[in-house]
Structure 1
Amino acid sequence: MKTMATRLVHYSSSSFPKLLPTAANRRLLSTTSEKVEGSSAQIKEPRDQQKLLVLGGNGFVGSHMCQEALAQGLSVSSLSRSGRASLPDSWAESIVWHQGDLLSPDSLKNVFNGVTSVISCVGGFGSNAHMYDINGSANMHAVTAAAEQGVKRFVYISAADFGLINKLLRGYYDGKRSTEKELMQTFPQSGVILRPGFIHGVRRVGSRNLNLSIIGAPLEKALQHAKILTKIPLVGPLFIPPVSVASVAKVAVRAATDSDFPSGILDVYDIREKGLEKLE
C-alpha cells in the first residue's frame, strides 16, 4: 500500500480544495507542502527574476509600494488610470508605467504578462455604487486577470473594520469584503490581505507634501498596546491604532515576493509586528 507521503506526490497544488485562511488550514497546507518532495513551496525564485505589478502605484500607498520594491531590487511596473501622472520623483523613472482601467478588462491586455506577483492599492470614495465599483469590481477584475495570466501571489490592501463607519460607507466596505472573498477563492494558498486602519506618512497633495505622521505617529504609539479597547461596543473601533505607510509597504512587498509568507488576513497589529521584522 502506498504511504500517505507517496500518494501526495501525485497531486499538484491545484488538486487541493480551496480553503479559507484559518490557522488550522494554514497548518494543513504547510504540512502538506513539506511532505511533497520538490513542491513549489520549496522552490525560491531569485528576486532578480521576480516581476512585481503595483496597481495604483501613483497614489499615496502605491507609490510607497513601488519605492520599497525598488529598494529590494525588484523589477516593478504599475497600472493606474492616469499612468505615471505628475510624479516628479527620480525613483519613478525606474518604474514601467501602464495606463488602464480595471473596470475595462480590454485595457488590461499585456499588463500582466510575465508578472509574478501583484499588489493592489486600488480604492476610492464617492457614492455607494461608485465605491463598490472601485473597491470591489475593479479589484475583482484584477484578481481574475492575474489568475488567468499565471501570477503566483496577490496582495490586497484592504481596510480595518470600523463598526458603524462601515455602514456609513457601505459601498466602500462591501467592495473591500467582496474583493477579499474573491481573492481567497482564487488564490487560497498565495493570497494575502492587509487590513490597516489610518495609514500615516508623507502624502503628496498637488505640488506639496503633507506629513500625516505628525498626527498618526503619536496616535500609533499611544494606541499600540490598547487592543483590548477595540472590543468596547460601538466606540471600540475608534481605538484601532494608525500604522505607517512604510510598515504597510514593507509587509506587502514581502508578502508578494516570499513564497513562505502565509496566506490570509493581517490586521493592523500583525502589520506592525511584521513591519518590525528584519528581512532575511
Structure 2
Amino acid sequence: MKTIMSRLLHSQSSLPRLYTMAVSRNGRLLSTDSNNVDEPFKVEEAETVDVPPPPTEKLLVLGGNGFVGSHVCREALDRGVFVSSISRSGRSSLHDSWANSVVWHQGDLLSPDSWKDALNGVTAVISCVGGFGSNAHMYKINGTANINAIRAAAEQGVKRFVYISAADFGLASYLLKGYYEGKKAAETELLIKFPYGGVIFRPGFIHGTRRVGSMKLPLGVIGAPLEMILQHAKPLNQIPLIGPLFTPPVSVTKVAKVAVRAATDPVFPPGIIDVYGILRYSQQKTA
C-alpha cells in the first residue's frame, strides 16, 4: 500500500512538467511554470471597409421623365433605392447626373406586353402617369394606362403601388371630365388590387420648377406663398361649391418625398392621402 501511494505522489509531482512547454506561433516557446510568456500572443485585426449594403428595395417609376416623376426618381436615389423607370420616350432628356443612375425602359402602358419585363424583381411602383387632351384621350391616359399597370403589378406580386392622382376641384372636374373619370377609375382599381399596399395621393396644384423644352417655369413663385397661406385655412376648403378652390398647392419635392416613403416604408398606411396629409407627412422625419 505504501508503495502504491508513493508512486501516486511521485506521478503527481511530475504532472506540471508535462505542461512546461508548448509551441506558440512562429515556433516560440511558452512556459507554464510561471505567469510570464516569452512573447504576447498577438491578434491582428482585419482591415474593415465601409461598404453600404446593396439596395433591398427596387422601385419602378412610371413616367419618370416627367415633372413629378423626375423628382420621385431623384428622391428615391437619394434614399439608396434602386430605381428604374418606364416612359414612352425611354431615357430621360434631362442631363442631370442622377439620371445616369436610373435604369430606363421604353414602353407604352396601353400595350402591357411592351414593358412587363420591367416588373421583374420590382418591390414597389409609383405611377406619375397622366395627361390632358380630349375626354377620350384623358380617360385613356389617366385611367386605362394606369389600370393596366396596376393589374400587371398585382399579377407580378409587387408589394406596394403608389398612384399620384389629383384633388377634386369641383367645377374643374366637370370641365375636365375625362381626366377625373380616368383618375377615379384607376383609384378604384388600385383599392381592389392593392387593399393593403395601395396608396393614392390627391394633391392639388403641384408647384416647382417645371421644364418645358429648354425653358424653365418657376411655378414656385406663385405656388409657395399660396401653400404657406392656404395650408392653415383648411375650413375654407369646406365651403360648398367654391371650397375646393382653396385647396393649398404643394411643392413637387414634398410630393416626391412622401411618395417614396409610401412606396418603401412597409408601415405606411394604405388608402387615400389628400394634400393636407402630404403636407403633414412631409414634415415628419424619416430614417
TM tier, smaller: 0.7 to 0.9
Contact 2:105-2:115 within 8 A present in 1 as well:
no
Match of 2:156 among 144, 149, 171: 149
1:1-280, aligned counterparts within 5 Å? 48-280=55-287
Q: 1:47 Cα shift?
A: 7.6
Q: Larger Cα Rg: Structure 1 or Structure 2?
A: 2
Give the aligned residue type for 1:210: L
Q: 1:255 to 1:97 in 2, by over 3 A?
A: same
3-state secondary structure, aligned to 2:55: helix
Q: With structure 1 as the length reference, what TM-score do the two structures score?
A: 0.82
Q: What's the CA shift string for 1:195-248, capped at 9, x where partnerless?
A: 000001111111122211000000001111111111112111110000011110
Identity of matched residues, %:
71
Q: What's the CA shift string for 1:170-189, capped at 9, x where partnerless?
A: 10000000000000000000
RMSD: 1.0
Alignment correspondent of 2:29: none
Q: Relative CO higher for 1 or 2, CA cutoff 8 Å, sep ≥ 6?
A: 1
Q: 1:128 Cα shift?
A: 0.4
3-state secondary structure, aligned to 2:131: coil
Q: 1:265 Cα shift?
A: 0.2
Give the aligned residue type for 1:127: S
Aligned pairs, number: 235
CA distance in 1, matches of 2:92, 2:190: 28
Q: Which runs of 5+ in 1 are unaligned?
A: 1-45
Q: With structure 2 as the length reference, what TM-score do the two structures score?
A: 0.80
Q: What's the CA shift string for 1:93-123, capped at 9, x where partnerless?
A: 0000000000011112311011000000000
Q: Which runs of 5+ in 2 are unaligned?
A: 1-52
Q: What's the CA shift string for 1:55-101, capped at 9, x where partnerless?
A: 00000000000000000000000000001142111110000000000
User: Which stretches of structure 1, 4 residues or more, deviate above 6 A after TM superposition?
Assistant: none
Give the aligned residue type for 1:242: P
